[in-house]
Amino acid sequence: MKSHTAYLVFNTQKHREYINITDQVAAEVRQSGVAEGMVLVSAMHITAGVWVNDAEDGLLRDIDAWLEHLAPFRADYQHHRTGETNGDAHLKSLLVHHEVIVPITKGKLDFGPWQQIYYAEFDGQRRKRVVIKVMGE
């Protein structure tokens, strides 16, 4: 079995941002030489997430509004008693989760017709990483 590890680094301009990372993940799959296997894409921070969905701007705005509705920024989170102010970012990360696994077939990401991989930043404007782990033959 082959394996290949790479890291993406982000320092977003905004506090909350959604970045399509499909091309970067596909490039690492190609570089790995794995023809049949899987790739794990995982945010290495507890205030960020990774998901697979459609790359459509209206949907991204809908997802952002939905997350803000379910876990709005507010001052009264218990977590804020520690001196932090990012309680909502932790909750948003739980809602979208921190990782995805995508199959690799014939050396390519094996997606449905509209699927793309997104990095979701909920507490940005500082350095964060995503690990890409390609495994297979």
> Which CATH topology does 2-136 take?
Jelly Rolls (2.60.120)
Sign (positive/negative) of CA torsion 136, 105, 52, 5? positive
- Helices and strands (H, E) in the chain, number of each type: 3, 8
Longest dimension (CA), the chain: 51
Q: Provide the residue ranges of all domains of the chain, joining segments of one domain with +.
A: 2-136
Whether the Cβ atoms of residue 60 and residue 17 lie closer than 8 Å to each other:
no
pLDDT tens digit string along 58-91? 999 999 999 999 999 999 999 999 999 999 999 9
At residue 132, the pLDDT reads 99
Gap between the Cα atoms of 74 and 23, Å rounded: 35
Per-residue confidence band for 56, with pLDDT thresholds at 50, 70 and 90: very high
Which residues, including other chains, have CB under 8 Å from residue 12's CB and lie 6 or more apart?
19, 121, 124, 125, 128
Question: What would the mean pLDDT of 3-29 be, rounded to a whole number?
Answer: 97
Q: What is the pTM of this model?
A: 0.95
Per-residue confidence band for 134, with pLDDT thresholds at 50, 70 and 90: very high
Give how far the C-alpha of residue 82 lies from the chain's centroid of Cα atoms, to the nearest Å: 26
Nearest to 130 by CA among 1, 9, 19: 9
At residue 101, the pLDDT reads 98
Identify any residues that bridge with 40 across adjacent strands, giving them in sequence order.
101, 133
